[in-house]
Every structure is written in structure tokens, then in C-alpha cells.
Structure 1
Amino acid sequence: MTEPDLPVAVTQLMKGVVYRDTHDRAWNQLLQLQPQVRDHVAVLGLQVVVDEAEGYAFLRQRPPDEDPERQLPRLIPRHALSFPVSLLLALLRKKLAEFDAQGGDSRLMLSRGQIAEMIRVFMPATSNEARLIDRIDEHIGKAEQLGFLRQAKNGEQVYEVRRLLKAFVDAQWLADFDAKLAEYAAALAGGRDEGAEGEGG
């Protein structure tokens, strides 16, 4: 058994999400040292979120302190997502829920074409097909940059939907988004496409 090594666990967490399948050593150290890791990062105003069942862990900013004198600078940045990216994450989350309900393989793999078709039906109609494809690729790239998609190592345009998405898109978020999506679909059906590229909250 490897001796517990707190710096290994904390350093990997500070760099980003720790995955059981890609950060084997840091993951094992984290599981052995959870109380110490929590105490260590708490000094920085952070919390550790560990999902052993899904195999990932990450740091989250602690809720703001009511005393402004004790308020620490934010270490974990917030990401302002455009509506299409929020839409893509919601669609991927639903796909993951459907996939889990079927059982079987634990990894959901989707081709770029499958992902593009999921979001295309919600995009404003355009005669410029090349521009539409470029925009969809930008949204897929953003989801990959945020860590919710991971491209397969074989070079093909196939992506794994990372289970980390479940921690950021919960049932309530999906329910709220469904209501917004219905309004958006109605607007598209009426020929209005304003706000398609606006910033989401």
C-alpha cells in the first residue's frame, strides 16, 4: 500500500477535476486522505466534492461568508455560458440520464455528428450551412474545454460524455431549463431567433 501523500492529492485537485480512470495515484491518495484534504483546502475557502460511485472529485468555492471582513478572493472562476452551450450541456445531461436508465456500459460515447444533430434542431434556421457547422463545432469545443466532453484518443471525432456533468446539471436545473427551452422553441417556430447567441446566467 502506498504511503498517503497529501501534496499529491491537493496539487492534482488544484489543477482541475481528479478522475479515477485518469489520475489513479491522486485519486487513491484523495480517498485515503479525505479529512486532511478537506481541512487543507478549507483554509483557502474551498470545498472538496467527491463522487466515489461516478469516479471524480473537484474543488468548489465555499458559500460567501456573511462577514465581509472574512471574505476570501474567489479562486474557482465562474463561467458565463452562452445559451447554445447551456443548451448543449442540458441535452448531453438528458442523454446521460437515458443512457444510465438502460444500464450496460458505464461510458456514454457520442460521435461529433450525433452531438451536432442533437443541437441542430434548436439552432435558428440559416442558409449558410458552413457557418452553422462552425458554430456547432465552437459549442462542442467549449463543452470539451469545460471538461464535460473528452475526445477519444483514437483520433476519430468521438467524444465521451464525462460524468462530471451530473454534478453541475441537476434535476432542478434541467426542469428550469426545459421551461426556457419550450419558450425558445416557440420563438423559433414563430420565426424569431433573437437571443440565440446571448449570454446565459
Structure 2
Amino acid sequence: MLARLLVEPLYREDGALWETLRAERETVAHYFRQLGQELVIDEGEGYAFLRQIEPEGGERVPRVGRRQPLGYTATLLLVCLREELARFDAAPGDSTRLVLTRPQIRELAGQFLRESNNQVRDIRALDTALRRIEELGFVRAFGAAESDTFEVMRILKARFGPAELEDVKQKLIRHAAERGA
């Protein structure tokens, strides 16, 4: 369980791992605190992940993992999915899972991408970005592999809170303006 948390979030659906984490919450939190990581568990949404502790006063704590920039298309896709998740949560319904098909995801992000004359390249770029955010655990394949359907993971809400979301949106707007100029 400890090694898995270093790599990816844990979810309620992980069954025994989730229950072990809940039972050993304090021990696990103490262990990761020694590594400069904060254990974040959201019981209501059903996920847990690690966040780098940022100490006060400019003290540097070595990072356990490397930060890797996502790139414009992947960031845009995350912002679109985060806003879609907010709309989904605000709408009345029985389902707690936001499930989208690949074409729906392409359409969400495609409306914010500049038109080009190479549609195949554009689709390939969106699919590459989708694979990247799937590797990072923000979406998960849902149903049969050939169905091309993805569940938007709720951890996206924790990683992109309202303030961070607005900040990223402003950066995307500036970046788009620079590209268009």
C-alpha cells in the first residue's frame, strides 16, 4: 500500500487496500511525513493521495518525485474535465461517476483549440494528452477496453481546487493569446 501511494492515488474501489489505509491512517501519515509528504484522505469522495509538504520560511525539502510539465493540451484537457466534473456535481442525478467517451472528451477540449488544417494531428495530440492524464490517474478506463469510455476521477477536484483552476485558466488564456499573436 505504501509503495502504491507513492505512485498513484488509492480509491475506495481498491477494497482491502483502502480499508487497510483507513485502519492504519495515523501510522501511514507519520511515515510519509518523515519523507516530506502529506497524506490526504477524502472519505466523502473516496480517494487518498500524497502531497509534497511545502515548509514555511523558504526551507527546502527534497522532492520524492520529479515535477514534469504537462504541456498545453494536457493542461487544457484537465481544466475542461474539472469544469465538466463541477457541472456534473451541480446537476441532479443518481450517478456519482462522471463517465465520458473519447469523442466527448475530444469535443470538450477541441472547442478551445485553434483550428488547423491537419485534423489527424489534432486528434493524435488530444489522444496523447488523454493517455498522459490517464497515466497520472485523473481518468480511468471504464468498462470494456474497446468501449473507449473513461471515468473522470474525483481526485481532480483535490488537485485543481477553485483557486488553482482559475489560475490555470488565466495562464491558458495568456498562452493562447501569445500563440495567436
Report if the CA contact (8 A) 1:61-1:76 is conserved.
Answer: no
Q: Which runs of 4+ in 1 moved over 6 A?
A: none
Q: How do 1:38-57 residues align onto structure 2 when only pairs under 5 Å count?
A: 38-57=29-48
CA-CA distance at 1:183 after TM superposition: 4.8
Task: Determine if contact 2:10/2:48 at 8 Å carries over to the other structure.
Answer: yes
Select the residue among 108, 112, 122 that pairs with 2:112. Answer: 122
Q: 1:138 aligns to what?
A: 128
1:154 matches 2:144 = yes
User: Paired residues, what number?
Assistant: 179
Tell me by how many angstroms 1:181 deviates. 4.6
More helix by share: 2
Offset, 1:110: 0.4
Q: Partner of 2:180: helix, strand, or coil?
A: coil
Aligned 1:96-107 pairs, distance under 5 A: 96-103=85-92, 104-107=94-97
Q: 2:73 touches 2:125 (CA, 8 Å); kept in 1? A: no
CA RMSD of aligned residues (A): 2.2
Of 123-132 and 47-56, deviating more is 123-132
- Structure 1's 72 and 174: CA in aligned 2 closer, same or farther, altered over 3 A? closer
1:183–1:78 Cα change, 3 Å: closer
Deviation at 1:182, TM superposition (A): 4.7
Q: Secondary structure at the match of 1:105?
A: coil
Whole-Å separation in 1 of the counterparts to 2:76 and 2:2: 33
- Identity among equivalent positions (%) equals 36
CA contact (8 A) 1:50 1:58 kept: yes
Q: Computing the radius of gyration over CA atoms, which structure comes out larger, 1 or 2?
A: 1
Quote how far apart the aligned CAs of 1:153 are. 3.5
The within-5 A match list for 1:1-201 is 9-21=1-13, 23-64=14-55, 66=57, 71-103=60-92, 104-155=94-145, 156-183=147-174, 187=177, 193=180
> In structure 2, what is the Cα distance between the partners aligned to 1:50 and 1:94?
22
Distance, in Å, in 2 between the alignment partners of 1:148 and 1:121 is 21
Rounded to whole Å, the distance in 1 between the matches of 2:58 and 2:118 is: 53
CA distance in 2, matches of 1:131, 1:118: 17
The Cα of 1:131 is off from its aligned counterpart by 1.1
Describe the superposition over 1:161-195 as per-residue Cα deviations: whole angstroms up to 9, x where unpaired: 0001011111012222343455566x49xxx536x
Distance (whole Å) between structure 2 residues aligned to residue 67 and residue 117 of structure 1: 42
CA contact (8 A) 2:40 2:51 kept: yes
Q: Which secondary structure does the structure 2 equivalent of 1:179 belong to?
A: helix
Q: 2: CA distance between counterparts of 1:150 and 1:59?
A: 19
